Amino acid sequence: MQVGFVGTGAMGAEMARHVASAGFAVSAFDTDAEALRVATQDDVTAADSLAALATASDVIVVVVANDAQSRAVVTEILSCELRDSAVIAVAATNHPRTMIELGAACDAKGIGFVDAPVCYGLQGARDGDLVSLCGGTAEAVDRIRSVLMAYSRAVEHLGPVGTGQLGKACNNMMHWAACVANYETLALAKSCGIDAQTMRETLLKCPARNTTLERWDTTRFTWHQKDMDVVLDLSQQAGLALPLFGAVDQLVKRLGPDQVRALLHEPQAQYLGQPIVARSLAEITAEE
């Protein structure tokens, strides 16, 4: 089976490498010549153009940055003479509406389409330990399952086209809520005299443990604005009030890796513009 990857940034390059290591013939294309050069040094070959990649591939995995890029890439792929059994899989995180539109365009041309965003980020891509959340027909998902499993610990089929992105949105909701909860929890510990990193390591042994806290040192806080905008847009369209996540949307946008590093490892940190002043618990409880 010939697999093509469109987008060889940090995620795409690692995913393509795992697919090649699994024994598939893999080619890649990127408009960034240097990113493509780095990604195609081993078993992944460089395609001369997107059209050349598309016409030679049974499965085309799209790993680009945003909805506009996904639209542009899929539209150009559909203008090519594709193989009869070809399937396009969008592994980027996009709005479900975009996937439904692109899925309809593929269906009109008799081309399979799966939205297959991933969880566990760059480290998961490096380890080949992602989770692929898929929307599409069972036939299309099964046709590409072995490719997705090359870089995933699990491939979850959630329903029709768009539900993969909905599943990713649900994961993002829990992740960003945990980011805010973790930060506020450790801020209280630090304010009352417990070292925040010590409290974090202790909580990882308690029922309060969560995957976000476990990976706290490597959370890069990328794309949270786009992620939460998708969630809130979907909730409005569904007529569903999500007051907690309205607050999470505002709070998580004020956090980043620098704030987390300061909270865990530096004497001074802040939250919402206010300093986190470390004092002893005895001093705090003695105040009236």
Check whether residue 183 and residue 271 sit in a common domain. Answer: yes
Check whether residue 37 and residue 151 sit in a common domain. Answer: yes
Model confidence over 229-249: pLDDT tens digits?
Answer: 899 999 999 999 999 999 999
Check whether residue 195 and residue 68 sit in a common domain. Answer: no
Beta bridge partners of 90: 62, 115
Check whether residue 12 and residue 127 sit in a common domain. Answer: yes
Check whether residue 17 and residue 50 sit in a common domain. Answer: yes
Average the pLDDT over 209-220 and give the result: 89
pTM of the model: 0.93
Helix orientation angle between 163-191 and 243-252, rounded to the nearest 10 degrees: 70
Distance CA 249, CA 211 (A): 20
* CATH code assigned at 191: 1.10.1040.10
Check whether residue 123 and residue 30 sit in a common domain. Answer: yes
Check whether residue 127 and residue 243 sit in a common domain. Answer: no
Residues 6+ positions from 93 with CB-CB distance below 8 Å = 117, 165, 168, 172, 223, 226, 227
Per-residue pLDDT, 226: 80
Domain count for the chain: 2
Q: Which two tokens stand for residue 199?
A: 């409290």
Q: Which two tokens stand for residue 28?
A: 């890649």
Q: Which of 160, 183, 212 is the last residue of a domain?
A: 160
Residues 6+ positions from 251 with CB-CB distance below 8 Å = 180, 272
Model confidence over 28-83: pLDDT tens digits?
Answer: 999 999 999 999 988 999 999 999 999 999 999 999 999 999 999 999 999 999 99
Check whether residue 114 and residue 230 sit in a common domain. Answer: no
Query: How far is CA 29 from each of CA 58, 70, 112, 267, 287, rounded to the nearest angstrom?
Result: 15, 14, 20, 46, 64
Domain limits for position 105: 2-160
Beta bridge partners of 26: 3, 44
Confidence of residue 288 (pLDDT cuts 50, 70, 90): low
Q: Which of 140, 160, 180 is the last residue of a domain?
A: 160
Model confidence over 127-140: pLDDT tens digits?
Answer: 999 999 999 999 99
Beta bridge partners of 89: 61, 114
Confidence of residue 219 (pLDDT cuts 50, 70, 90): confident
Q: How far apart are the first and last CA of the chain?
A: 72
Check whether residue 200 and residue 149 sit in a common domain. Answer: no
Per-residue pLDDT, 88: 98
* CATH code assigned at 64: 3.40.50.720
What's the mean pLDDT when you consider all of the chain?
95
- ∠ CA 156-157-158, nearest 5°, is 105
Q: Which of 128, 160, 192 is the last residue of a domain?
A: 160
Check whether residue 150 and residue 186 sit in a common domain. Answer: no
Residue 206 CA from chain centroid, whole number: 27
Per-residue pLDDT, 268: 92
**Residue whose token pair is 């491939």:** 155
Query: How far is CA 237 from each of CA 230, 231, 243, 273, rounded to the nearest angstrom?
Result: 11, 10, 15, 33
Check whether residue 9 and residue 152 sit in a common domain. Answer: yes
Model confidence over 92-144: pLDDT tens digits?
Answer: 999 999 999 999 999 999 999 999 999 999 999 999 999 999 999 999 999 99
- ∠ CA 277-278-284, nearest 5°, is 95
Check whether residue 20 and residue 136 sit in a common domain. Answer: yes
